[in-house]
Structure 1
């Protein structure tokens, strides 16, 4: 067996596959409007020539382009329904942290499946801009919550030495969702068929909910530290790791219970409030085998505490970098943005972009564990900045082949580090008591930055093109952002690879609580 897959059980793989359907739906809904934009908004009443010919071969008697089902809207309306998804994402990200700490990871993932389900159903039958806005808020809220809860759950069920590898699958699943919806959009962006793009979202949500109900257990770490049931937590962890794996050291890392379940004598002494003989200076186990653990910090508390503030600054900065280097200018607007600038169909190029994004993300998934999180992020940012500069110059000088290559390099560099690694770092820069709040800060920053790009990019791009003449000027801005964020990461983000806990990451003396 490959070293990457050593001590990985089929059950763990099933858990990761089911839980990451949540982030997959994030990617799916993020890009669902890209390909069908023109037909949804009534700009074009038929599919493109190449697709139309393919459809005629399948159904030669049908008159494609007749009976168009669309929702009239202005460019500002379309920008609003694109960007409102990130507003829902912000709400979900902010609410998911405290909710997942209080109610558990599994319950909150089920709630996200419900949000995806209702949002997708409304989109499928929407007849107005208002209906799509409501639907996009619901799916956005589910997406925001998913990208907080799922990386946290994966970090708690994955083997400690494989957290970087499995943590990358949040981004892999997002990219899979993007590829899926871009491919569907290429074939279904005509007549009334575009509604099936939203209808497939209903099917994904139902599959997600079924998997969570039938297969996925509550996180062992949450069960031990919050619910207080160490015995149940150990049983779940043993099932995930396999019956022959010793889980004592990992259970001890919860900071919530003895390595082994308490004896009857220890339980009775705990109930009486008496320390066992020889345990002076050690916190006595509480009923159920729990030691006193640090309370979970809230969204505001974690940023007020100077101990955690550097971590919050680091993750917020990384999440802004992830978006402001420009990836969503390609994911959300590539079909309309690139259709007159490149030598091939922009719809085909968008699918190729999504494939490269997915393949590069999967191929790069071992790199954070091998070379370090910080190095992967820095190389990723510098690669995106260089690609943005090449793209801007090639568009300005009409070099279409170089423009296409620059777009593909831009996406590949994002997948190298800036895509997957921020989801890993947010759970490694702080202790368990602050993980949920830190994830919420990280995703709140991500959705604010995504909103800025989603809403302002088409406006700024058009304004620059009109003001300066021609196209491509906006990518000079993205290249400048990349240089600034590279300096930020070099100065403010520590390396977490190989570090046992947050105290070691920040070079602090280990605290005794």
Structure 2
């Protein structure tokens, strides 16, 4: 029977894990904000002249759907996240992961509050960059904290909670913006200011919950202390193959084009001639959520990370090619919906959750792992900008919608080949001893001895792959 103190520790760990999962949920809500809000912000919702249709205070982008400012409003969050990811690595090194998580809550909450009160295009775009800074900081802190809090045997399963929270957050933003926060005589518009305030309040809840996390306390080994004397760039070059193994899945998570489908799926279905495209757009998110919950979570520990990544990329390649074919030759066919479901389900079982699990498991020294996570996350958000911002619009103008999805299909095929070549299997390896395990080692020295064996396995793995 557990002692009361052990029960209190377990309860605090559960609360801390819940608070950490609130971070990707809140960040995803801020990302999904544009899906229900942008048609009202541009005046497209009712198909009427914007000045006559949209309630006062909700129309801010006066160029309609072709507004360049509206396009930048959607895309700038990615550039903000890129900067946040780069800065998050330094903040993590100096202040620890809990501090990074709290900074993320402040930036996301403050940025969404600025969106709620913003009136000009410049104010809203600047606020979106602030939100992006918080999203980038969250991307650095939440996956690493989940890896630290999760017992090694459950790290893969619990690691999928990050992806579940992201999908759930986008879905909440879509549903609240589409059903709860409505405006207009017939509720045909999204009251995006109230939605922004709601997301800001969720960020405040994250900030409060983050204090359940224990302060960062870590006794560095003599090897790690000595490693700080070696220039970081030299250490990255020494471990370049391991760094590449973590970088490639993070890059192809976005080059698969998934964010383009999630955020612009309704427009895609409308272009394909599909009726009820709004409801189907919401169901796409549900398919992803069910895929992560019912398929990826059980399989990630039994099948392994590498096979899931490769199968996921191949499935997305087939789904993207089928979608391109339907858009080009089968206008109005429900086969396009089936192809879209296959595309997002393939993402959900591998490329969605697995890239965030890899970096803590690759056996990199802590200092190198922090820098690698920062660079890989920044690359992830930079690629997200490519597939959701002006570069994606340029691709669609050049190749058409069907052609752009054929390009994404080929990108997924290339990603499958690269991940097969550079990504090792890590499910049998232990990450660096977690905070909870270090506490257990203080009372049970034999655990520390077994830990050294595990770390030895990781070291030999590192040498064999570098």
Q: TM > 0.5 between the two?
A: yes
Q: Find the aligned partners of 1:139 and 1:92 in 2 and give their Cα distance.
A: 10
Q: Which has the larger radius of gyration?
A: 1
Give the direction of change, closer, same or farther, for the CA distance of 1:85–1:297 in structure 2 (3 Å limit). farther
Query: Cα distance 1:483–1:118, how it changes in 2: closer, same or farther (>3 A)?
Result: same
- Pairwise CA distance, 1:126: 1.2
Relative distance call for 1:88 and 1:300 in structure 2 (3 A) is farther
Q: Distance in 2 between the 1:453 and 1:404 partners?
A: 21
2:90 to 93, 98, 104: 98
Q: Which residue of 1 aligns with 2:36?
A: 35
CA apart distance, 1:295: 5.6
TM-superposed CA distance for 1:509, in Å, is: 10
**What is the CA deviation profile of residues 348-392 of structure 1, one whole-angstrom value per residue up to 9, with x for unaligned ones?**
112111111112112212322111110110111011111001101
1:68·1:191 contact (CA, 8 Å) conserved in 2? no
Q: In the alignment, which of 449, 453, 461 is matched to residue 505 of structure 1?
A: 461
- Structure 1 residue runs of 5 or longer lacking an equivalent are 1-6, 48-62, 227-255, 257-290, 466-470
Which one of 18, 41, 59 corresponds to residue 70 of structure 1?
Answer: 59
Can you list the C-alpha shifts for 1:315-351, whole angstroms capped at 9, x where unaligned?
2221121111110111221222322324332221121
- Residue of structure 2 in register with 1:356 after alignment: 287
Which residue of structure 2 lines up, in the alignment, with residue 154 of structure 1?
A: 146
Q: Distance in 2 between matches of 1:91 and 1:416?
A: 29
User: Of 446, 455, 461, which residue of structure 1 is paired with 2:396?
Assistant: 461
- Within the candidate set 197, 200, 203, 1:199 is matched to 197
| Equivalent residue for 2:303, pick from 354, 360, 371 | 371
Matched with 1:479 is 409
Q: 1:69 to 1:371 in 2, by over 3 A?
A: same
Question: Is the CA contact (8 Å cut-off) linking 2:306 and 2:419 kept in structure 1?
Answer: yes
For the residue of structure 2 that corresponds to 1:77, the secondary structure is: helix
Out of 342, 346, 355, which is 2:277 matched to? 346
Measured against aligned partners, the alpha-carbon deviations of 1:93-143 in whole angstroms (never above 9, x if no partner) come to 111112112101112211111111110100111111111111111111111
d(CA) in 1 for partners of 2:306 and 2:35? 32
CA distance in 2, matches of 1:113, 1:298: 33
Query: Structure 1 CA distance, aligned partners of 2:37 and 2:256?
Result: 25
Residue in structure 1 matching 2:116, options 108, 117, 124: 124
Q: Is residue 384 of structure 2 the alignment partner of residue 450 of structure 1?
A: yes
What are the Cα deviations for residues 431-478 of structure 1, in whole angstroms up to 9, with x where unaligned? 33322111101101101101111112233213322xxxxx42211001
Q: 1:383 maps to which residue?
A: 315
What's the C-alpha RMSD, in Å, of the aligned pairs? 2.6
Pairwise CA distance, 1:24: 1.3
- The 2-side partners of 1:414 and 1:43 are apart by 31
Relative to the length of structure 2, the TM-score reads 0.83
- Out of 157, 175, 200, the residue aligned to residue 167 of structure 2 is 175
Q: Does structure 2 conserve the Cα–Cα contact (< 8 Å) formed by 1:299 and 1:441?
A: no
- Per the alignment, residue 450 of structure 2 pairs with none
- Residues 356 and 412, structure 1, Cα contact 8 Å, conserved in 2: yes
Q: Quick one: distance in 2 between partners of 1:82 and 1:67?
A: 22
1:27-49 deviation line (CA, Å, top 9, x unaligned): 112221122222111233479xx
Alpha-carbon separation, structure 2, partners of 1:24 and 1:30: 10
SS at match of 2:103: helix
Q: In the aligned structure 1, how far is the partner of 2:11 from the partner of 2:171?
A: 26
Q: Which runs of 5+ in 2 are unaligned?
A: 1-6, 183-187, 431-454
1:9 Cα deviation from its structure 2 partner: 4.4
**Preserved CA contact (<8 Å) 2:79 2:382:** yes
| Count of aligned pairs | 417
Q: For residue 369 of structure 2, what is the aligned residue in structure 1? A: 435
TM-score scaled by length of structure 1: 0.76
The whole-number CA distance in structure 2 between the counterparts of 1:176 and 1:481 is 27
Question: How far, CA to CA, are the matches of 1:64 and 1:317 in structure 2?
Answer: 46
In proportion to residue count, which structure has more helix?
2
Offset, 1:298: 11
- Partner SS, residue 360 of structure 2: coil
